[in-house]
Structure 1
């Protein structure tokens, strides 16, 4: 049975089954985000110019998108299709290089 999650249903599914630490795929997703943030901080600290900072941010955004894609795919394989915009781990940290 495939579950198509409407926004209201997505909240129910998210809290009850998907976005909990008992879901190993969600834990993997959270770990990927944490690793991407650590790597971004390191890359920005080593950046020598604006181009390096732009590259670091682009790499971070690509890693976040890849982690979300993988998480959505794992959930879809288990019959849970999440609507766009429903996958949120924590508040994003805005990075504005000086």
Structure 2
């Protein structure tokens, strides 16, 4: 009976180690910056015009997301992960600015909200 309790306690301790270890892992700066860029992904076409520029933008964003997943799967160390996240954030920023520039050229603007008094 005493041996069963010791084995049970040891199994419980071993089962909780991975969860505790994962909770301590800090987020990379590059990942935080990329996540901020992710929040800025345009969800609806500017001016309600869903032409070739919109579809190209969405296709490029999707491809960039797939590329990140592949890069993270192939990452062998922390530096590879940092490079993958940095490239992802940079590509998202580039795709957004390319789409916005194309739409501004056609006379459409990115909606901006200003909040005063804060």
Matched residues, number: 69
Decide whether aligned partners of structure 1 residues 46 and 30 sit closer, same or farther in structure 2, where only a CA change above 3 A counts. Answer: same
Are 1:79 and 2:107 an aligned pair? yes
Runs (5+) with no aligned partner, structure 1: 1-12, 86-98
Q: CA separation in 2, counterparts of 1:84 and 1:43?
A: 34
Larger RCO, structures 1/2 (Cα 8 Å, 6+ apart): 1
What root-mean-square deviation, in Å, do the aligned CA atoms of Structure 1 and Structure 2 show?
2.0
2:90 aligned to 16, 41, 62, which one? 62
Pair member with larger Rg:
2
TM-score by length of 2: 0.53
- Structure (1 or 2) with the greater strand fraction: 1
Cross-structure match for 2:5: none
Superposition TM-score, scaled by structure 1 size: 0.64
